Amino acid sequence: MTKSIVLRLGIGICSLLLLGSCVTQDEFRYLNDQIVALNKRVDGLEDKVEQNLSNRLDAELGGVRERQADTMAEMKEMRAEMQRLSGQVQENNHWIKRSVERDTAEEDALKSTVSELQIQVGTLNAKTDQLYAHLGLKLPEPAPEEVSTPVADTAEKAAPPAVPPTEKAPKAPEVSPEKRLYEVNLGLFKNEEYEEAISGFKNFLDKYPDSTFADNAQFWIAECYMGLGQYEQAILAYQNVIKKYPKGNKVPNALLRQARAFYEIKDKTSSRLLLKKIITQYPKSSEAGIAKKRLEQMK
C-alpha cells in the first residue's frame, strides 16, 4: 500500500517538473505542502502497518512458543517413560539370567535363612521319628517260632504222628526308609504345612541325593514356596529342578510353574519367554498346551 502511494507521488512530481514552466510559484508551494503532508501520512501509515504486523507476529509467536513448550514437555515425558521401560527390560533380563544360569546354592538370599533351616531340620527330624513310631515304621524283629518235636509213645512204640507245617501269614511288601521319609514329607505338603515340608524335603535330599524321588522332592519344595506366596524363592527352587535334573519328568512342569511365579510378581516378559520355551522344547507335552492357552490370555 505505501509503495503504491509513493509511486503515485513520484509520478506527480515528474509531471510537475515537466509542467514547471506553466505552474506559478504559489501553486508550486501548495503542491509542495501537499507532498509533505502526504509523506507524513505515508510515514504514519507505515508505522501503523509495522506496529500491526509486530503485534500479530508477537501474538502468533506467543502461540507457537506455547505449543513448542507443550511439545517439549511431552517429549520429555516420553523420554522419561522410555528410560523407565528400558530400565525395566534390563532388570528383567538380568533377573532371568541370574535365576536361570546361576547356581542357586550360591545365592545370597539363601544364606540369611541357613540358621533357621538348621533349626527346622532338627525339629523335623524329631517329628519324623515320632511319625515313624506312630506309623509302625520301626517294628521289632519277631522272634523265631519254636516247633516242639513229638515224643514217641514207648508203650505202643508207634511212630509219632505227622505234624502239619505251621502256616505263616503272607508278609506285606516292605517299604524302604527312603520312600517312607518321602511320603511323610509329601503328607506335610498336602496338609499345607509348607515350612515343615520344605525342611523335610531338604533333609530328604541331604540323605538320599541320588534317590529316584529327588527331582520330585525338589519340585515339592518349590510348590511349598508357591503356597507360602514366596514367589522369588519358588523361582529359584524350580530352577534347581531344571538345572539338577534336566532329564527328569518334572522339568516341563517346573518351567510352567516358574512362568506362573514370574507372572505373580508382575514380570510378564519373563513369563512369556518361559511359556514359549515350553512350547519350543516340549511341543508334545501337556504343559505345552497349557502354555499356549496362557499366552493367548496374556495378549
Answer yes or no: do 86 and 127 share one domain. Answer: no
Answer yes or no: do 121 and 238 share one domain. Answer: yes
pLDDT, tens digit (0-9, with 9 covering 90-100), for 80-124: 777 776 666 566 555 555 555 454 444 444 444 444 554 555 556
Give the mean pLDDT of 217-231. 97
Give the mean pLDDT of 272-288. 95
Top pLDDT among 113 and 52 is at: 52
pLDDT for res 184: 95
pLDDT, tens digit (0-9, with 9 covering 90-100), for 20-40: 545 566 666 776 777 777 777
Any idea how long the chain is? 299
Full-model pTM: 0.46
pLDDT for res 156: 40
Q: Where does the pLDDT of residue 47 fall: very low under 50, low under 70, confident under 90, or very high at 90 and above? A: confident
Residue 263 belongs to a domain with what CATH number?
Answer: 1.25.40.10
Q: Residue 146: inside a domain, yes or no?
A: no
Q: Residue 189: inside a domain, yes or no?
A: yes
Answer yes or no: do 16 and 57 share one domain. Answer: yes
CB atoms within 10 A of CB 276: 14
Answer yes or no: do 183 and 67 share one domain. Answer: no
Mean residue pLDDT of the chain comes to: 75
Helices 268-281, 25-101: inter-axial angle, 10-degree rounding: 50
Nearest to 226 by CA among 184, 274, 249, 194: 194
What are 31's three cell numbers? 503542491
Segments forming the whole domain that contains residue 265 = 113-136+175-297
Answer yes or no: do 119 and 204 share one domain. Answer: yes
Answer yes or no: do 124 and 10 share one domain. Answer: no
Domain count, the chain: 2
Answer yes or no: do 28 and 117 share one domain. Answer: no
Q: Residue 231: inside a domain, yes or no?
A: yes
Answer yes or no: do 118 and 220 share one domain. Answer: yes
Q: Residue 21: inside a domain, yes or no?
A: yes
pLDDT higher than 80, residue 46: no
Answer yes or no: do 48 and 180 share one domain. Answer: no
Answer yes or no: do 85 and 182 share one domain. Answer: no
Answer yes or no: do 22 and 120 share one domain. Answer: no
Using DSSP's 3-state secondary structure scheme, residue 39 falls into helix
Q: Where does the pLDDT of residue 157 fall: very low under 50, low under 70, confident under 90, or very high at 90 and above? A: very low
User: Which of 59-63, 169-173, 203-207 is least confident?
Assistant: 169-173
Residue 142 DSSP class: P
Answer yes or no: do 119 and 249 share one domain. Answer: yes
Rounded to an integer, what distance in angstroms lies between the CA atom of residue 255 and that of residue 274? Answer: 6
Query: In this structure, are residues 194 and 228 in contact, taking their beta carbons and an 8 Å threshold?
Result: yes
pLDDT for res 25: 67
Q: Where does the pLDDT of residue 72 fall: very low under 50, low under 70, confident under 90, or very high at 90 and above? A: confident
